[in-house]
Amino acid sequence: MDLKLKNKVIIVTGGGAGIGEAITLGAVSEGAKVVILGRSDIAGIEIEQKLKNLKAEFQFIKTELSDVLDCKNAIEKTISIYGQIDVLINNAGVNDGVGLEHGSPEKFIESMHKNLFHYYNLAHFALPYLKKTKGNIINIGSKTAVTGQGGTSGYAASKGAQNALTREWAVELLPFGIRVNSVIPAEVYTPLYDRWIKTFANPEEKLKKITSKIPLENRFTTAEEIANTVLFLASEVSAHTTGQILYVDGGYTHLDRAL
């Protein structure tokens, strides 16, 4: 299916690794021009090499997403290079383990800066350009907003707020024809997930326990499966879809675990 993304300018935060990398690679395969925002030099170098090998049209803009001015500069630089923005994909974040008991008010605020505020900041600064293209925004959330996890108040609060902002922005931006949707992963084996799983005494046993609770095929969702849904929402093929929170999780969040 032609998603009609050729020459569209798509911003992907955290687009150099994990789910973000899968979104980036999927977007360039559709002929889009991708702007990757992130602070990791290593991830930037690695994704740049992959994209050069694919002869893709892209830019990597090193951005400290928790800094408001950096967010503004990233949007302005995108416009200076490409002259337009068609899609903003807010993806970057980290499950940082800032809990209620083992945390602090200061760490909670820091977690919100890392996981929530840049979603608003980038959307705010990109909005004038999204109005011109009747573009769209896609927020990547997490099942923790619905299920809870324990020990991660900052991340869960951020993800809950992202769901609320998705619906709020979908309403506010209706007059401009700008669509806003969310995609919610549950268990996706990314480099960040790999680092987390290795903190357990028996990682293999922990993995087996997790996959046994994923109803569809008892396996992790792949990053590519998340990316496919994101790109569908980004495209004109889903031109009448807005305000939706889509779960791409093998039924993990809502189906009876007794299955």
User: How much is the pLDDT for 192?
Assistant: 83
Determine the pLDDT at residue 173.
98
Predicted confidence at residue 1, as pLDDT, reads 72
What is the predicted pLDDT for the residue at 147?
95
Residues of the chain below pLDDT 70: none
Q: In the prediction, which pLDDT does 249 show? A: 97
Calculate the average pLDDT of the chain. 95
Instruction: Please report the pLDDT score of residue 81 as a whole number.
Output: 98
The residues facing 155 across adjacent strands are none
Q: How many other CB atoms are found less than 10 A from the CB of residue 174?
A: 13
Q: Which pLDDT value is given to residue 170?
A: 98
The pLDDT of residue 42:
76
216 to 62, 140, 170, 197, 225: CA distances (angstroms): 38, 21, 30, 21, 13
SS3 143: coil
- The pLDDT value recorded for residue 256 is 86
Q: Which tens digit of pLDDT belongs to each residue from 217-254? A: 999 999 999 999 999 999 999 999 999 999 999 999 99
pLDDT at 85: 98
pLDDT at 215: 95
The reply to whether 155 belongs to the active site is: yes
d(CA 71, CA 119): 10
Q: Are 246 and 229 in contact (CB under 8 A)?
A: yes
Domain locations in the chain as residue ranges: 9-186+222-247, 189-220
Tokens 């293209």 belong to 133
Selecting among 119, 129, 155, 252, the annotated active-site residue is 155
In total, the chain counts a number of residues equal to 259
Element (H, E) at 22: helix 18-29
CATH of 9-186+222-247, one of 3.40.50.880, 3.30.450.20, 1.10.3210.10, 3.40.50.720: 3.40.50.720
Helix (H, G, I), strand (E, B) or coil at 37: strand
DSSP for residue 100: S
User: Residue 227 phi/psi, 5° resolution?
Assistant: -60, -40
* Pair 135, 129: CB distance under 8 Å: yes
Task: For residues 15 and 47, give the distance between their C-alpha atoms in angstroms, rounded to a whole number.
Answer: 8
